[in-house]
């Protein structure tokens, strides 16, 4: 009987810890209007880095370091990737960023998903939506979004890690204006 009580106690403790993490992540997301961060992105082994600003819902502006002036911009409807020599425009809804940049979608999914603790440092949720699978990662200490992994529209495996995260800064809305094609 004592063994049963100990097991029951441990299950309650684990469940409460999981619910507590989930509640804290959701509360943190609800209180976040925007994020500014540095990133490192690994797409099929090719590593790029830079900095980004996300404004919920669905807006992002990223400048890549050491590249040919590469930027990525979403105004909430379209996504543009522009370099000195190329210009690509996609409907945002056809990209995984459509889900990642939608905090209401993330909150709704996190509410119903089971978490997984990774390396005792990260909280992971796996979102399966239509033909997409996106792994979202949160810091176990701060409950901040710290990255994601997914397959992009070209079937490339993409891992994005966020660092130096700053929240709720004053930002210019102009940065989310789509750049003109050269």
CATH architecture of 18-176: Clam (2.50)
- Report, as an integer, the average pLDDT of 116-126: 96
What CA–CA distance (Å, rounded) separates 115 from 112? 10
17 vs 81 pLDDT, higher one: 81
Looking only at Cα atoms, what is the longest distance across the chain? 74
Give the pLDDT confidence score for residue 122 in this predicted structure.
96
Could you count the other beta carbons within 10 Å of the beta carbon of residue 100? 20
- Per residue in 50-83, pLDDT (tens digit) is 999 999 999 999 999 987 789 999 999 999 999 9
Give the pLDDT confidence score for residue 139 in this predicted structure.
97
Q: Which helix (H) or strand (E) holds 5?
A: helix 2-30
14: confidence class by pLDDT, cuts 50, 70, 90: very low
Check residue 67 and report its DSSP letter: S
């Amino acid at each position: 009987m004592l063994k049963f009580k100990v097991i029951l106690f441990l299950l309650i403790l684990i469940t409460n810890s999981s619910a507590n993490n989930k509640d804290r992540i959701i509360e943190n997301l609800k209180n976040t209007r925007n994020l500014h961060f540095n990133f490192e992105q690994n797409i099929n082994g090719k590593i790029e880095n830079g900095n980004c600003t996300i404004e919920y819902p669905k807006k992002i502006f990223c400048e890549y370091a050491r590249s040919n002036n590469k930027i990525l911009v979403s105004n909430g409807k379209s996504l543009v990737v522009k370099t000195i020599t190329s210009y690509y425009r996609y409907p945002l809804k056809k990209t995984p960023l459509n889900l990642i940049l939608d905090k209401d979608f993330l909150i709704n999914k996190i509410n119903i998903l089971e978490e997984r603790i990774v390396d005792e440092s990260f909280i992971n949720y796996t979102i399966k939506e239509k033909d997409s699978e996106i792994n979202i990662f949160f810091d176990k200490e701060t409950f901040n979004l710290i990255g994601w992994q997914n397959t992009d529209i070209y079937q490339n495996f993409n891992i994005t890690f966020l660092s130096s995260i700053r929240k709720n800064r004053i930002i210019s809305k102009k940065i989310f204006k789509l750049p003109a094609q050269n």
